[in-house]
Amino acid sequence: MSQAFYQSRARASLKLARRLADDRWPQARQRLDFYHAVQHLAAVGRALFGEDKAKLTTWLKPLVKQLKNQSSIPVIRQLEEALARC
pLDDT, tens digit only, all 86 positions of the chain: 566 776 777 777 767 666 766 777 777 676 778 888 888 889 888 888 888 999 999 999 999 999 889 888 888 888 888 778 76
Domains held by the chain: number: 1
26 DSSP 8-state letter? T
Residue 59's domain comprises 3-85
Backbone angles phi and psi of 26, in degrees to 5: -65, -25
38-45 contacts: CB < 8 A, separation 24 or more?
Answer: 38/64, 38/67, 41/67, 41/75, 41/79, 43/10, 44/10, 44/79, 44/82
**In this predicted structure, what is the pLDDT of residue 62?**
93
